Amino acid sequence: MGKGIKIVTIGGGSSYTPELVEGFIKRYDELPVRELWLVDIEAGKEKLEIVGSLAKRMIEKAGLAIKVHLTLDRKVALKDADFVTTQFRVGLLDARAKDERIPLSHGVLGQETNGPGGLFKGLRTIPVILDIVKDMKELCPDAWLINFTNPAGMVTEAVLRYTDHRKIVGLCNVPIGIEMGVAKLLDVDHSRIRIDFAGLNHMVYGLDVYLDGVSVKDRVIELLSIPENSSFVRNVEGQGWEPEFIRALNVLTCPYHLYYYKRDEMLEKELKNFKEGTTRAEVVKKLEEELFELYKDPTLSIKPPQLEERGGAYYSDAAVRLISSIYNDKRDIQPVNTMNNGAIASIPYESAVEVSCVITKEGPKPIINGDLPVPVRGLVQQIKSFERVGAEAAVTGNYDTALLAMTINPLVPSDKVGKAILDEMLEAHKEHLPQFFQTVDV
């Protein structure tokens, strides 16, 4: 441990990277990073160089001895890594635009991690993640894989189900965003709040809320029944909950629940954006262009505040807190995606779930919740079925399995509509879905 830590970030040219670098700088005393390798592909080379230069300026300004390496060769980077973080987007933002716009053209919600868009992001991403795991097995078998790439639940499910690599933790900034939001609602410091999270990625619920170890759930639910207090995450804007509904549900929701409990209202809003050419992908594209212009400034040596508009707020807090807790065997409690191991009774033991865990040097130890409350159990099980079947389709390239995954998602109204969307999206993403287009030599 004395030699310092080697961290590899795949998707290093991401606009999120300054968040991560800021996190490593802040926690350097407890997490002595020696080398940070930022890895990208040829198409991301320019962004990698811009972000890499900013990362070097940030570290220089902090006066730390972290050596930053930039490379397009993943295997060179992975050799003897201690932690590998993944934050990439197969097909870049143009693929996200298709994920959003094609379903909307059929009158179905198009979104990055939910419905048809979430399925297709999984179909493109999972084969790449499995390749990365294969390289890790060869080059850094003891390294932890910290995955931030969406759909994080389906990706974690695929690694657990189709590889023997168990050192994977899926991470999302939604739970920490909810914690921060609750702290703000109660006007207290974030460190005083703890929430018992259970469910799936972007389908997670807060079963209880504690302030200084004392449950304040009833008070928080009452505050959340006020419409303007409903949403905590900037990249999902919706309407407030009906007060009677949120009181009856009696658990904290996450912003992505809007797509399921307010499907018509969210679809109407997305269709309006679609017609105006301002779906989230277009908004993010514009934000990214502005961010990279800022990043290019040779005098910039801090993370610009505009990055929070990108939807990655608290990412560095969540990611670096997790890495530090594994490295230092802190045994603190954090919500992550990991193998269920009986934490949620109605989800298979070996499946991925997003739950509060004790974080140890052996990885996350899920806190046993018994079962989810009846009002939310069915929806969580349905989304878990979608994730499992979607992961299977990604690995096998089987058309029928992909159609099944598409149709069992609650945002898709029928198999006929699902098939029309599937056919159009397969064609649109053909370049990044070779598993569906392999020809068999006779």
Alpha-carbon distances of 266 from 238, 260, 270, 415, rounded to whole Å:
7, 9, 6, 21
**What pLDDT, on a 0 to 100 scale, did the predictor assign at position 163?**
97
Structure tokens at 184: 């703000």
Q: Is the pLDDT of residue 1 over 60?
A: no
Catalytic residue of the set 256, 260, 314, 315: 256
**What would the DSSP string read from start to end of 118-136?**
HHHHHHHHHHHHHHHHHHH
Predicted TM-score (pTM) of this structure: 0.94
**What would the DSSP string read from start to end of 251-279?**
SB--GGGHHHHTHHHHHHHHHHHHHHT--
What mean pLDDT is predicted for residues 334-356? 97
* 261 flagged as catalytic: no
Structure tokens at 323: 């890495």
What mean pLDDT is predicted for residues 283-293? 90
> In what helix (H) or strand (E) does residue 83 lie, and over which residues does it extend?
strand 83-86
**What pLDDT, on a 0 to 100 scale, did the predictor assign at position 313?**
61
Domains of the chain from N-terminus onward: 1-205+261-434 (3.40.50.720)
What mean pLDDT is predicted for residues 266-284? 90
Least confident of 186-195, 248-257, 379-388, 431-440: 431-440
pLDDT over 90 for what percent of the chain?
Answer: 85
Convert the pLDDT of each residue in 14-26 to its tens digit. 998 998 999 999 9
β-partners of residue 9 are 38, 85
Nearest to 328 by CA among 29, 9, 85: 29
Q: Is the pLDDT of residue 234 over 70?
A: no
CA distance 225 to 244: 8
CA distance 383 to 405: 10
Least confident of 2-6, 337-341, 345-349, 416-420: 2-6
SS3 88: coil
CA distance 225 to 55: 42
Band (230; pLDDT cuts 50, 70, 90): low
Convert the pLDDT of each residue in 299-316 to its tens digit. 999 888 877 766 556 777
What mean pLDDT is predicted for residues 366-376? 95
Convert the pLDDT of each residue in 121-143 to its tens digit. 999 999 999 999 999 999 999 99
Q: What count of other Cβ atoms lies within 10 Å of the Cβ of residue 78?
A: 21
Band (442; pLDDT cuts 50, 70, 90): very low
Convert the pLDDT of each residue in 32-86 to its tens digit. 999 999 999 999 999 999 999 999 999 999 999 999 999 999 999 999 999 999 9
Residue 425 burial class via C-beta count within 10 angstroms: exposed 0-12, middle 13-18, buried 19 and up = buried
**What pLDDT, on a 0 to 100 scale, did the predictor assign at position 310?**
64
Convert the pLDDT of each residue in 83-125 to its tens digit. 999 999 999 999 999 999 999 999 999 898 999 999 999 999 9
What mean pLDDT is predicted for residues 411-437? 97
**What pLDDT, on a 0 to 100 scale, did the predictor assign at position 210?**
98
**What pLDDT, on a 0 to 100 scale, did the predictor assign at position 203?**
97
**What pLDDT, on a 0 to 100 scale, did the predictor assign at position 317?**
78
Band (233; pLDDT cuts 50, 70, 90): low
